[in-house]
Structure 1
Amino acid sequence: MPVATARTVSLDGAVGHLVTIQADVSPGQVRVDLVGRVDQALGEARDRVRMAIINSELDWPATKRVTVLLSPADLHKRGTHHDLGIALAVLAAEGSIAPELLAHCLFVGELTLDGSLRSVRGVLPMVLAAREHGITTVVVPEPQAEEAMMVPGTTVFGVRSLAQAIAVLSGQPLPEAPPVVRSAGANLLHWRGSTRHEDVDLADVLGMDDARFALEVAAAGGHHLMLSGPKGAGKTTLAERIPTILPDLAPEESLELTAIHSLAGVLDPGAGMIVRPPYSAPHHDASKTSIVGGGSGQVRPGELSRTHAGVLLLDEFPLFRRDVIEALREPLENGEITVARAEELVTLPARTILVVAANPCPCGEHRPDVGKDTCRCKPVALREYRSRLTGPVADRIDITRHVQPLSPHQRVDRFAAREDSATVRARVEAARARQAERYADTGWRLNAHATGVALRDRWPLTASATRTLDEHVVKGALTNRGAVRVHRLAWTVHDLDPSSTGAPGPAALDVALRLRQGRPLLDSTVRGRECSA
């Protein structure tokens, strides 16, 4: 028999690579060889596939030599989702099914010993990769058919077993098979941060005009934000309302984020594409792997990637482990995270709005601003705590705001104007539309994505504003990295003003510097937001 060919996809992070499975059944020493840089889990496919074929009452070449090549041979392949493609290629090489039935199809699924299928992680990015190579017909485990159908222009067949897959290919009635059992990873359907922002609104927040404006700027330009202040001041209350002022995801963002959740095993296919920005607030004892991604075997996305195009709140930031804090440098700077393993280098998108919140001291009672300091922290503990809020990571955070508790008057002022999230979101959407037009010929969507070189060359500040910014760098008040972030902030402040034209000038730069350095905003700035509503 000629060599039979089937196709599947191997994942490298969220990027899929088309894999060609070639099976040869010929006389020789009775053995099964599986070659092509396969990992241990995939190497065990020879036994799973053999027993699945036998127990499905199909012909296994028991007296011949079976050789299966997964190419390209230099690509490291991992995962059990190759099983279905391997089994079909062997059956086609043996002559049990016509080899031409496998042409132009993608096969994904893990086999059990009785020939049933099990669901796997990452079906959506696999189908996306197949479409890029012109393959528009896919066969997947039944529970993940809805997930595969999210890719436009794709014909999807959801099956429960190897026998059903053969029936679909040959146009025969489907034999009976028990429902597919979801894998442990695929059962994690209800991610804790996915709907957190649906029951809160910015109108719930009393006062805090300065901090509210900072939230609006962060949402409009995709800027990272640090909120500091005594316990109970409202830092978490503010942070968890940022998703409510973010617009719906763009189609490409939605597809990208949904693929990441599929890879992580936390996607609910029945809910369709993710259209709202995600939100997550992991506890401060979270591990580095859970935040940035990793794990044994196939790399799984962490919270930074799961909240891509959304909001990640690290509350009680100084209490996070130091290795977690230091690991934030790359994603805060580049918008992506690279996880290295012995034979694997995976890069995942991580353009989240990072919000870090911290008390002024471990006990949260440090209040020198009101002349009543009841802090009980020892000096050594206080220095260690505050050291987490400075240095390279802090330099990568665009906006710093100190949140003060409400005064008794603010708490009882029933006539104080409070904008709701919908009103602020409309301004954010308008500002983002201006950015989308400006960066239309680039790969960026928001001001926070633009590089310093591009801003200087193509979108500079006015001459007077540029001189002022350069003076801050020369005096040591800003690092070069800080100057780039102030430049981005100035553009976002400019974009939020519907009457602004040209390049950002001294007024926008002054607001950007205040946001960056944690200095209070001028009353006219806050009032300007209210007047433009």
Structure 2
Amino acid sequence: MSTATARTVSLHGAIGHVVDVQVDVSPGQVGLTMVGRPDLSLRESGDRCRMAVLNSDLPWPVTKRTTILLSPADLLKRGPHFDLAVALAVLAAQQHLPPQVLPDLAVMGELTLDGRLRCVPGVLPMALAAAARGLRGVIVPEPQVPEAVLVPGLEVVGVRSLAQAVALLRGQEVPEAPAVEPPSVSRVLAWRGEQRLDDLDLADLRGMADAKFAAEVAAAGGHPLLLTGPKGGGKTSIAERLPSLLPDLSPEEALELTAVHSLAGTLPPGHGLMTRPPFSAPHHDASKASIVGGGSRQVRPGELSRTHAGVLFLDEFPLFRTDIIEALREPLENGDITIARTEESVTLPARGLLVLAANPCPCGDHDPVSGRSTCTCRATALRDYQNKLHGPVADRIDLRRHVGPLSRHEGDPLRDPDTSAVVRARVAAARERQAARYAGCGWRLNAHAPSTALRDRWPLAGSAAALLEETVYTGRLSSRGAVRVHRVAWTLADLEAVRTGRDVVPGPRELDLALSLRCGDPLPASLWERCG
């Protein structure tokens, strides 16, 4: 038999498709033909594989015609990780490998000309796709074994070279080979990086009780948060401490997030599951592709996806480009982001906690709440700046708080505010209530619950539903805003149940508080005392 099939995985965003690499070696005009919509890097795979096979002292059909079909043929394939599958299929077609050992394995890895393997991005989502297809195991570059073994029930084999892979499949002694260079991680060097957040605690901040309470509600229910106020008021300090309020990721969240970072090439070598929520605070001059995701050829995840189940902080929000601001609509509404290119459309997860911070004006000295203002901005500049805070994206923000100058009584050093650990315990308990309530649904947190499900299965209690409907009729809230207030009310009820130890269904009290959080109104003074 002059044909053989090996299997690998083609990635489209975070979704993997198992691809059959079918090879036919037969008499005819000498040459190599690859069909099935390969991109340029994949078309070059034939030359790489030929030299890798020959330099590994293995046979290549130099006097025959070699045809390679990547099936399904209508699916666009790209990337050098097809190399190992192509080389093994060619060897199997020449009877140098038992053909029956390949169909139940997915193989991935880039080959060098001397037959060594190189690491490739996206091993974890590829392994997930292989397991979903029912394949027995995967063969990957040795340094990426820790990624692939995160998929339960999958046999993972790590190799350093093509010769090692062939020996393993033939049941022979595995030859020695130089170690594979670990994957490079695109990371900006900075002092201590994200580790500096480990030293930040909510108890460090004096006062700002209402902003702290909003941060706790945001963390408990996954609600987007907007912080406004004059410069130096503490907006960034609140946002940087939000990760310390979040519990460890659930197994599903950890696997999703790790797969995204594997696809982006930002997973450190030998790293297991990412168990802590990530934090990112990109500069307002960042490009749309870096925030949303994209790329000229292969789509890569942006910060919206790399902070999935974590915190994305956009400081100086009105200074971000308009196209970036408008691109936030979809993830705020659906929890994912779809990036369309000429030949493909990719959907990536983006259910992180979005925190926006903005000054009231470009110079940062305008404070309409306290009345203290030394603003020198022109009226047109002030109008353009504030328009970005009141557009369609702002209507998708659940919580809004003004962070003003610290008053004398708030800065009392004798008061002992709650630590991040104390608040995190309440947040974790509130999330456990949500997980139990939404068991079997396609979402985990109140912020993601669809409006129809809330209305039909988890309505507000007492007169709260009528009061919420009245706010829409009077024009205080849009229909979208009413749904978001409903979600916040449930989060407040979950936190109240955690504090009191009794079951709570959101009623008029929770609705009033949710409306105040939504509209930026002052919170009751009693709440300040309660939240430290």
Q: Same fold (TM over 0.5)?
A: yes
Question: Which residue in the other structure is 2:527 paired with?
Answer: 525
Cross-structure match for 1:275: 275
Deviates more, 1:74-83 or 1:100-109: 100-109
Q: Please state whether the residue corresponding to 2:219 is helix, strand or coil.
A: helix
Partner in structure 1 of residue 337 of structure 2? 337
CA contact (8 A) 2:462 2:508 kept: no
Change in CA separation of 1:193 and 1:12 when aligned onto 2, cut-off 3 Å? farther
Provide the rounded CA distance (Å) in 1 between the counterparts of 2:528 and 2:132: 48
What residue in structure 2 maps to residue 224 of structure 1?
224
Task: Report 1:371-520 matches (<5 A).
Answer: 371-411=371-411, 413-498=412-497, 499=500, 501=503, 503-520=505-522
Q: 1:409 deviation in Å?
A: 4.9
| 1:259 counterpart residue number | 259
Q: Counterpart in 1 of 2:23?
A: 23
Tell me the CA shift for residue 463 of structure 1: 3.9
- In 2, Cα distance between equivalents of 1:288 and 1:187: 18
Distance 2:186 2:310 in 1: 23
Counterpart position of 1:308: 308
Q: Which amino acid in structure 2 is aligned with residue 503 of structure 1?
A: V
Partner of 2:149: 149
Question: Structure 1, residues 340-395: CA drift from partner, whole Å, max 9, x if none?
Answer: 01111100000011000001111111134444421121112111111111110000
User: C-alpha displacement at 1:527, in angstroms?
Assistant: 3.2
Give the stretch that moved more between structures: 98-107 or 323-332. 98-107
Query: More displaced, 434-443 or 94-103?
Result: 94-103
Cα deviation, 1:50-101, whole Å, max 9, x if unaligned, reads 1111221211101111011111112111111011001000011012222123
TM-aligned CA deviation for residue 187 of structure 1: 5.4
Q: Distance in 1 between matches of 2:145 and 2:169?
A: 16
Separation (CA, whole Å) in 1 of partners of 2:186 and 2:172: 31
CA shift digits 1:105-149 (9 cap, x unpaired):
111001112211111000001111111122232111111111112
Aligned-pair CA distance for 1:497? 0.6
Deviations 1:471-499 (A, max 9, x none): 11001110000000000001110110124
**Quick one: percent identity of the two aligned structures?**
64
Q: Please, what TM-score do these two structures have when normalized by structure 2?
A: 0.96
Pairwise CA distance, 1:529: 4.0
Structure 2 CA distance, aligned partners of 1:35 and 1:279? 43
Question: 2: distance between equivalents of 1:282 and 1:164?
Answer: 43
- Rounded to whole Å, the distance in 2 between the matches of 1:22 and 1:190 is 44
Alpha-carbon offset, residue 434 of structure 1? 1.1
The alignment partner of 1:226 has SS state of strand
> Relative to 1, partners in 2 of residues 1:215 and 1:486: Cα closer, same or farther, differing over 3 Å?
same
Match of 1:115?
A: 115
Q: Which deviates the most, 82-91 or 366-375?
A: 366-375
Aligned equivalents of 1:528, 1:430: Cα separation in 2: 18
Q: Report the Cα distance in structure 1 between the residues aligned to 2:398 and 2:387, rounded to whole angstroms.
A: 18
CA contact 2:147–2:271 (8 Å) conserved in 1: no
How far, CA to CA, are the matches of 1:486 and 1:367 in structure 2?
26
Contact 1:189 1:265 in 2 (8 A): no
Confirm or deny: 8 A CA contact 2:203 2:416 kept in the other structure: no
Structure 2 unpaired stretches of 5+: none
Correspondence for 2:68 = 68
Task: Tell me, yes or no, if the aligned pair for 2:108 and 2:140 is still in contact at 8 Å.
Answer: yes
Identify if the C-alpha distance between structure 1 residues 408 and 463 changes in structure 2 by more than 3 Å, giving closer, same or farther.
Answer: closer
1:408-433 residue CA offsets vs partner (Å, 9 max, x unmatched): 4544x221121001111111111111
Alignment partners' CA distance in 1, 2:194 and 2:351: 17
TM-score, structure 1 as length reference = 0.96
* Aligned pairs for 1:318-329 within 5 A: 318-329=318-329
Secondary structure of the residue that 2:294 maps to in structure 1? coil
* Cα distance in 2 between the residues matched to 1:69 and 1:195: 47
State the partner residue of 1:105: 105
| Contact 2:401–2:517 (CA under 8 A) maintained in structure 1 | yes
Aligned residues of 2:183 and 2:269 also touching (Cα < 8 A): no
Q: State the match for 2:356 in structure 1.
A: 356
3-state SS in 1 of match to 2:51: helix
Give the partner amino acid of 1:428: V
**Matched residue of 1:271: which SS?**
coil
Matched to 2:488, the amino acid is L
Alignment match, 2:43: 43
Distance 2:426 2:410 in 1: 25
- The CA deviation string for residues 16-42 of structure 1, in whole angstroms up to 9 with x for no partner, is 111111111000111111111111111
> One-letter code of the match for 1:508?
E
Q: Deviations over 1:221-262 (max 9, x none)?
A: 000000000000000000111111111111011011100010
Question: Which shows bigger deviation, 400-409 or 260-269?
Answer: 400-409
Question: What are the Cα deviations for residues 140-172 of structure 1, in whole angstroms up to 9, with x where unaligned?
Answer: 111111111222222222212111111122232
Partner of 1:241: 241
For 1:521 and 1:23, how far apart are their aligned partners in 2?
Answer: 69
- Post-superposition shift, 1:196? 4.9
Is residue 58 of structure 2 the alignment partner of residue 58 of structure 1? Answer: yes
Q: Which moved more, 1:27-36 or 1:347-356?
A: 27-36
Deviation at residue 265 of structure 1 after TM alignment: 0.3
Task: Tell me the number of residue pairs that the alignment of Structure 1 and Structure 2 aligns.
Answer: 528
Q: Which letter does structure 1 place at the counterpart of 2:524? A: L
Q: Deviations over 1:441-498 (max 9, x none)?
A: 2111110010111111111112411111111100111000000000000111011012
1:127 touches 1:148 (CA, 8 Å); kept in 2? yes
Quick check: 2:239–2:313 contact (8 Å CA) kept in 1?
yes
1:298 is matched with: 298
Classify 1:503/1:408 alpha carbon distance in 2 versus 1 (closer, same or farther; 3 Å). Answer: closer
Aligned residue identity for 1:462? A
Contact 1:50/1:60 (<8 A) preserved: yes
In the superposition, relative to structure 1, how do residues 449 and 372 fare at CA in structure 2: closer, same or farther (>3 Å)? closer
Counterparts of 2:372 and 2:188, CA distance in 1: 48
Q: Is the 8 A contact 1:189 1:267 kept in 2?
A: no
Separation in structure 1 between the aligned mates of residue 31 and residue 251 of structure 2, nearest angstrom? 49
Contact 2:245 2:421 in 1 (8 A): yes
Cα deviation, 1:270-292, whole Å, max 9, x if unaligned, reads: 23111111111011101110011
The aligned counterpart of 1:124 is: 124
Amino acid aligned to 2:528: V
Looking at structure 1, the residues matched to 107 and 189 of structure 2 have their Cα atoms a distance apart, in angstroms, of 27
Give the distance between the partners of 1:275 and 1:42, measured in 2 at CA: 34
Conservation of the 8 A alpha-carbon contact between 1:188 and 1:265: no
